[in-house]
Chains A and B, each alone.
Chain A
Amino acid sequence: MLEIKDLRAEVGGKEILKGINLTINPGEVHAVMGPNGAGKSTLSYVLSGRDGYDVTGGSIYYKGEDLLEMDPDERACSGIFLAFQYPVEIPGVASATFLKTALNAQRKSRGEEELDAMQFLKLVRQKTTELGISDDMLKRAVNVGFSGGEKKRNEVLQMALLEPDLMLLDETDSGLDIDALKVAADGVNRLRSPERSALVITHYQRLLDYIVPDFVHVLADGKIVKSGDKTLALELEEKGYTEISAA
């Protein structure tokens, strides 16, 4: 699914990622944990193709294709979804319009028929009901005036609609109370399947109680310094990053 080799990237001339190697196979959920400033968010932005994150070395192959050659929208259309740590407020763009445009752009790229307003609404209703999310926010502008929890729920709803093959979750747990966390985790777990993979980026172990990973990696100073199974997360929680990184 995803093959990252010796990935180096810099932001504003400063090297943040210093040689990352990571392979994610279909169906696997990987967690990347690490202290602040380790490069966790940079990794998620490099994978989703954000401007200003310059790859200076290494390669990323996604479904056998060179990911770095693809624009952000092409990556999205080929199944990569980034759930933002800080979802962006977009005044003047109605959530429903945004979701429909995004969904139809992706369907179009796959050669599928675009949904009309009725079909779209039916699909959204189905998803909001499944996830236990109120569809109030569809009427509002994208993320504008949403609470932290609402923003994250909106990310999960988008993910449920777009049904990505590779979910990137960037600190989805930050700023969430336990109920909101459960809704978010439930959204991810519903999508888990033998074909679908996830990369869960988090600072705390807490989220991993709900989205149980197959593999856990520790990212420190731009490199993966340790990998293991889900018990590594618990070990981290107990001992802290410093000890593990040094080990």
Chain B
Amino acid sequence: MTSLTPLAQSYIDQFQDHLPRLPGAGSRHVETLRQQGLDVFAALDFPSKRIEEWRFTNLTALTKKGFEAANSECAASPQLATEFASEFEMVFIDGIFSKEESRLNALPTGITITSLADTLGNGAVFNFDDRETRALYALNTAYMQDGFSLHVDDNVTIEDTLVLTFRNTGGSAKRLHSRNMIILGENARLTVLERHEGVGSYFSNPVTRISLAKGSTLQHFKLQNESKQAFHLAMVDSEIADGAHYNNFCLSIGGQISRNELKSSILGGDAESHLNGAYLMRGNQHTDTTTLTEHTVPQNTSSQIYKGVLDDHAHGVFQGKIHIFEDAQQVAGDQLSKALLLSDFAAVDCKPELEIYADDVKCSHGATSGELDEDALFYLQSRGIPEDAARKMLIEAFLADVLDVISDENVKDYFTRLATTWLSSGGDEK
């Protein structure tokens, strides 16, 4: 038997010590669940590059060197002098729900928001379907600590965007395993904006499960703005019923190594899943977007559009799989991945995968990577626009059409401002 990575070994060794301090301690149900998770994780270890799904993302910096030993010089999230105005916000500080920092008092009727720690602590039986065999998912199950649980009743529309902020203060909490849930009743509508930010070196491993009942719509936005020394390995699984719509958009700016793994299961007709995003990386940052879209029944639609801007030695990965089951006729699946490389040392790996067992489907995929258009740059300069400003204009233009798919105007504006700020902050962080 080969030995586990040091970090995996420490997770296993410390489990019994941690167990009494984790929410749901004492509940046989929860403890069994955690033990099952740990067993799966122990058998797998952290994913290595030998695993096909992890071919392009090397976690050695996390698993071997140990993020806790990283130097104390705290790298905060990139300075983003921009804020998002919202009525409701649920805040997690170092992984734990903070009632003081949150603004959840005047919630409209029809939405229930609870913290996972409270729920587990109350001894409520959690009906997780945790037959999951992914190591990082199982690790989350073993150590899940807190997170949001959102439930919207049938036929309720929540107009205001609910903000979910995960802030790491650089304190002693270095391992964050948040477990989140979003459940929308029939014809319910909700918009959420998740924000992940922090200081220093830590490992964030959030898992989010989403269940969308018939006719419901979830707009799910996420800002990954972790510290430049942080590891962010996230998983989002969604189940989408008849006529339900799931729109996900992730803007990734932070993190040393980050991965956003999305699994969308389309379980009904006229259902839609749209997974989109933009990533902006520089220095030695690495980001990975891996999507799996399953069309299990006929007549539904999916799309993925991802655009990345990579400078310096930054590395981007996009792996997108569309799986169309045998009976899933008349489905449409479109996929597009584009990367803009601003330096000779930046790189992107792209792996589109179509697995189609039905014969009456419409699918497309495209992947491009390239540099800034020199002709366009000269054209702008020849009209008097300085080179830096011209470059910025072209990068913004490259990102414009993916940001345009954001249906919520406030979020679109927020993400656009973040992207602009990122562009302007150019050399500061090198």
Please list the residues of chain A having a beta carbon within 8 angstroms of any beta carbon in chain B. Answer: 48-51, 71-73, 75-77, 81-82, 84, 87-93, 97-98, 101-103, 105-106, 109, 141-142, 158, 162
Contacts and interface: CB of A to CB of B under 8 A. Distances in A.
Contacts of B399: 92
A162 B378 contact: no
B387 A92 contact: no
B401 A92 contact: yes
- Secondary structure class of chain B's binding surface, majority of residues: helix
A241 B375 CA distance: 31
Nearest to A108: B384
B125 interface: no
Contacts of B393: 93, 97-98, 101
12 contacts: A73-B382, A73-B384, A73-B385, A73-B390, A76-B384, A82-B382, A87-B379, A88-B379, A90-B373, A102-B380, A103-B384, A105-B386
B97 to A, nearest CB: 40
B305 to A, nearest CB: 14
A90 B381 contact: no
Contacts of B354: none
Contacts, number: 81
Contact of B381 (A71, A81, A109): A71
Interface in B373-416: 373-376, 378-387, 389-390, 393-394, 396-401
Contacts of B373: 88, 90
B381 A73 contact: yes
Contacts of B397: 90-93, 141
Interface of B: 373-376, 378-387, 389-390, 393-394, 396-401
A50 to B, nearest CB: 5
A98 B376 CA distance: 12
B379 A73 contact: no
Contacts of B384: 73, 76-77, 102-103, 105-106, 109, 162
A20 B386 CA distance: 29
B387 A73 contact: yes
Of listed A77, A81, A90, residue having the most chain B CB within 10 A: A90
B284 to A, nearest CB: 28
Determine which residue in B373, B384, B393 has the highest number of CB atoms from chain A within 10 A of its CB, and name it. Answer: B384
Given A88-B378, A90-B379, A97-B393, 7 more contacts: A71-B386, A73-B386, A76-B381, A90-B394, A102-B385, A106-B384, A142-B379
A145 to B, nearest CB: 14
B126 to A, nearest CB: 46
B71 to A, nearest CB: 40
Nearest to A102: B383
B396 A92 contact: yes
A91 B376 CA distance: 10
A162 B383 contact: yes
Contact of A158 (B378, B383, B389, B401): B383
B387 A71 contact: yes
A88 B400 contact: no
A244 to B, nearest CB: 31
Contacts of A142: 379
B380 A51 contact: no
B398 A98 contact: no
A110 B379 CA distance: 20
Nearest to A48: B382
B379 A76 contact: no
Contacts of A49: 381-382
A72 to B, nearest CB: 4
Contacts of A77: 384
Nearest to A161: B383
Given A90-B397, A92-B400, A93-B393, A76 B383 contact: yes
Contacts of A81: 382-383
A50 B376 CA distance: 11
A88 B382 CA distance: 11
Contacts of B375: 88
B385 A101 contact: yes
Contact of B394 (A72, A93, A103, A109): A93
Nearest to B404: A92
A84 B385 contact: no
B389 A101 contact: yes
Contacts of A90: 373, 376, 379-380, 394, 397
Nearest to B379: A88
Contacts of B380: 90, 98, 102
B382 A76 contact: yes
A157 to B, nearest CB: 12
A101 B373 CA distance: 19
A47 to B, nearest CB: 10
Contacts of A51: 374, 378
Contacts of B385: 73, 101-102, 105
Contacts of B383: 73, 76, 81, 98, 102, 105, 158, 162
Contacts of B396: 92
A220 B58 CA distance: 59
Given A92-B396, A92-B397, A162-B383, A50 B378 contact: yes
Nearest to B375: A88
| CB-based closest 4 A-B pairs | A92-B397, A76-B384, A102-B383, A72-B381
Nearest to A143: B379
A188 to B, nearest CB: 17
A187 B374 CA distance: 28
Contacts of B390: 73
